Amino acid sequence: MLLSFDGGLLLFYAYLFCMFVLFVFSTHNFVMIYYFLKHRHKNNLEKFDLEKVPTQNWPRVTVQLPIFNEQNVAERLILSTSNLSWPKDRLEIQVLDDSTDDTLKLTSAVVDRLSKEGFCVRMFHRTNRTGYKAGALREALESASGEYVAIFDADFIPDKDFLKNTIPYFANPKIGMVQTRWGHLNEDYSILTQTQSIGLNGHFVIQQLARNRAGFLINFNGTGGVWKKDCIHDAGNWHDDTLTEDLDLSYRAQLKGWNFVFLNDVVSPGELPAEINALKSQQFRWTKGSVETAKKLVPKILKSELSLWVKIQSLFHLTANFSYIFVVASCLLNSSVLFLHNENGRFNIIMDIMMVFVLTIIGLFIFYFYSEKMINPNWKKRMLLFPIFMMGSIGLSLSNAKAVLEGFFNIKSAFIRTPKLGFLHRDLNKQHHTKYVIKIDKLVFLELLMILYVVWSSYVGIHNYMTAKSNFIGMIFFNFWTLIGFSMVTFLSLKHVYQSRN
């Protein structure tokens, strides 16, 4: 026995605390499910009939396309933007290309071509990348001629009717932003992209829809949305002091009294990261940025005139990623508990108490079940991947926990782009290659140590169970989930680095 009885109790109490925190965050999904079921058929949003307005009177729109080193998708984005069903004389396209590679040659050639075809298209190229994406958007906004500003990242393909489907909702002068649901161009490329789509669908179909229609604060998702230019200026313009400039501006605008609209039935197709290291960098940026935004805006939210319930929902929204700290801690503590002996059932009462945390998994399953069922005809097949999605989330928790700590302790880092492969004209069943060499994340070595520790503790736990020294069978099961999760992420991290270099 490695610990005394009192030491074992302290270990269990720490474990219980971590599980309780995760329980609170996870059971909040039931709140979102309630509002989703209550408001999913609500559709009383005010909008004007665009077809009754002469095209020469349609509002002028600026489309901003922030790009950085995206050879595989940049040309595709610009050309698809030129296909928008909107009068040429009422449309301005701003290509914000800060690239340092051959992407700039591609985008310049497309801009020249479209200019000759009569499009109002302008190239903005900076050499210092001050403020990264936020800086590019802010600087180009100064010369934007549009009353409204649509934004698309390099990996998206705007639907030709995107503006027709979104601009009419600005009939209400208090509407400051309209966000559409993300679609997934390469959803069926691999298990990695399929599980990503499960997570994103849950965010859009359940969270965004429920929050918006229940009157809570929502966020612009960085792409696939339209802003009223006056709203951006009134909220203080784009700030670059966080890695999630979209979340930051969203909350500042709503705190100023602007209202947002989320359209679940309007889809903006985008490309999911098909490579695990790209996914990790994307998740890292989103997680760290949300923590930075929470530190920045939570005091303002608490002092605002929002109702108490709206404030509580905003806190859950902004602080949800802190849960990754407790995911990692619970994995470590779960493994540590397996070293304890449980002769005479000394820890049985605590084990009985911990059964309540099964609700955590149930809540998550129901949450993603409803989101998939609402938009996916093959939702039954997709939900079979739910265990893999959960294990993958555990595998990513170490990287995301690092992001939380860096965001909380103000450790600054660059805005790392998420490179995409470009799937529009390619066969999803073929092997894809990228011109960008993937760098290995040093955190992968810590993930390897985590795997070794979980293997060791699993062996000890099974031995103690077979020799009747403990009956922590549930914890042994959870340990295997942890082992598979970290093993999947670590294996793919090393495999994709090797493939990119060979």
Widest CA span of the chain, in angstroms? Answer: 84
In 3D space, the residue among 274, 208, 282, 298 whose CA is nearest the CA of residue 426 turns out to be 274
SS3 track for 305-339: CCCHHHHHHHHHHHHHHHHHHHHHHHHHHHHHHCC
Helix axis angle for 473-501 and 443-466, nearest 10°, is 150
Sheet strands side by side (includes 91-97): 120-124, 91-97, 61-67, 148-151, 225-228, 175-184, 259-270
Taking the C-alpha atoms of residue 51 and residue 479, their distance in angstroms, rounded to an integer, is: 59
Q: Phi and psi (nearest 5°) for 212?
A: -65, -45
DSSP label of 176: E
The strand pairing partners of 199, in sequence order, are none
CA atoms within 13 A on the CB side of 89: 4
Taking the C-alpha atoms of residue 233 and residue 223, their distance in angstroms, rounded to an integer, is: 18
The strand pairing partners of 263, in sequence order, are 180
The strand pairing partners of 177, in sequence order, are 227, 260
Q: Which of 98, 153, 159, 248 is catalytic?
A: 98
Residues 453, 339: contact at Cβ < 8 Å?
no
Taking the C-alpha atoms of residue 211 and residue 227, their distance in angstroms, rounded to an integer, is: 19
Return the amino acid letter for 71.
Q
Q: Is 130 in a helix, a strand, or coil?
A: coil
Taking the C-alpha atoms of residue 92 and residue 261, their distance in angstroms, rounded to an integer, is: 23
Q: Which of 155, 159, 246, 248 is catalytic?
A: 246
Structure tokens at 401: 């926990």
Helix %, strand %, coil % for the chain, to 5?
60, 10, 30
* Cβ neighbours, 10 Å, residue 299: 9
Contacts of 463 (CB under 8 A, 6+ apart): none
Helix or strand (DSSP H, E) at 304: none
Q: Is 259 in a helix, a strand, or coil?
A: strand
Mark whether 246 is an active-site residue.
yes
Strand 175-184 and strand 259-270: the pairing is parallel
Q: Is 269 in a helix, a strand, or coil?
A: strand
Active centre residues (catalytic)? 98, 246
